Amino acid sequence: MAEGNKTEKASPKKRRDQRKKGNVFLSNDAVAVATLVGAYLSLRVLLPGMKTRLETFLKYCFRDAADLSVGGLAAAAPEIFKQGVYTLVMTVGPLLLIVAATAIAATFAQTRMLFSGEAMRPKFSRISPLEGFKRLFSIRSVVEALKNTIKIAILLFIIYRFFKGQLTVFSNYLETTPDGFCLGLFSQFNTMLLQIIGAFVVVAGFDFFYQWWDYERQMKMTVQEVKEEFKQTEGNPQIKSRIREIQRKMAQSRMMQQVPKADVVIRNPTHVAVALRYQPERDNAPVVLAKGLDQLALRIVRTAEEAGIPAIENVPLAHSLYSDCDLNREIPQELYGAVADVLAYIYRLNKEQAGKKR
């Protein structure tokens, strides 16, 4: 289905499924810039120690090796090589570790510690010429090409400005000491590097928001996909409705079986009916055995009449019992008085009928 029909935001289930497949939001430019900034800051901190180690190694080579003969130099070569490897590891190793840790942290910060084997599985679409052609002329490819062009242009412009600036001040370096020359050149190079980092941070910010927008666009769903997902997760609404209807009828059937055990049914003429039981030996207060509206209320009244249970019309009490009482629960204390009057009337009526029969 065309992407133009994808108007609904991605559901949490789709996001979870896509995450399991390794399809998550990630800006590679943000990772690259974070790595560049980490490398720059680390270099600023580690540079004095790196300089000291290199000086120590070079002094060792030029001082000790110069005193050796050709045969002695060959014998000392393994030790020089060993010292060189040690110096290289101790000089560059911490920087590489910090850079790698920064790249991993920047990646995991965006993917929320995701590691998916699904993304590593071979897929035919990755080598399909048709899919490759589509990707080549997609909006993403155009944006990537434009972004890379801008980065190269910025880089070349800053480097050009750096060398142009050095040419204008080169004559000044002729009158300085070697240390002054190196210090000035390093300062200018540091300024150029900061300019490059600043420009790339801006580009990475653009890429971050573009990748987020593109990811959310691709994750959108059609209305039909939302409906199908709802059916899969929640079940077919028609089936669920049918199940609820069956459950409701079963509950009503069980409730109607309790009506013949009631002592009285309190009703308004046609709309509300509540069946109550009160057995002092087992009940602390009258208990609601059944209640219903409209057709169900008529069924309760009809069943009660067939069982010889009196139905008393009391509109306000019937409405209060229906709205404030739960099935198979005792009535609230505020209704004790009104229900007691009804029960007393029923008991008195029963005594009068029993006296007439005698």
Residues 351 and 257 in one domain: yes
Report CA dihedral (258, 262, 266, 270) to the nearest 10 degrees: 40
- The verdict on residue 68 lying in a domain is yes
The conformation of residue 330, written as its DSSP 8-state character, comes to B
Q: What is the CATH number of the domain that holds 277?
A: 3.40.1690.10
Residues 38 and 67 in one domain: yes
- The verdict on residue 20 lying in a domain is no
- The verdict on residue 174 lying in a domain is yes
Residues 64 and 201 in one domain: no
Q: Where in the sequence is the domain holding 132, given as residue range(s)?
A: 1-8+123-235
Residues 272 and 142 in one domain: no
pLDDT in tens, 270-320: 789 998 888 888 888 888 888 888 888 888 888 888 888 888 888 888 888
- The verdict on residue 241 lying in a domain is no
Q: How many structural domains are present in the chain?
A: 3
What confidence score (pLDDT) does residue 131 get? 57
Please tell me the distance from the alpha carbon of residue 143 to that of residue 135, in angstroms, as a whole number: 12
- The verdict on residue 140 lying in a domain is yes
Q: What is the CA radius of gyration of the chain?
A: 43
- The verdict on residue 89 lying in a domain is yes
pLDDT in tens, 105-154: 988 888 877 765 555 555 555 555 655 555 566 677 788 888 889 889 98
- The verdict on residue 240 lying in a domain is no
Residue 36 near residue 246 (C-beta atoms within 8 A): no
Residues 106 and 127 in one domain: no
pLDDT at position 97 over 90: yes
- The verdict on residue 190 lying in a domain is yes
Q: Which among 113, 143, 163 is the end of a domain?
A: 113
Q: How many residues does the chain have?
A: 358
Q: Which among 113, 141, 174 is the end of a domain?
A: 113
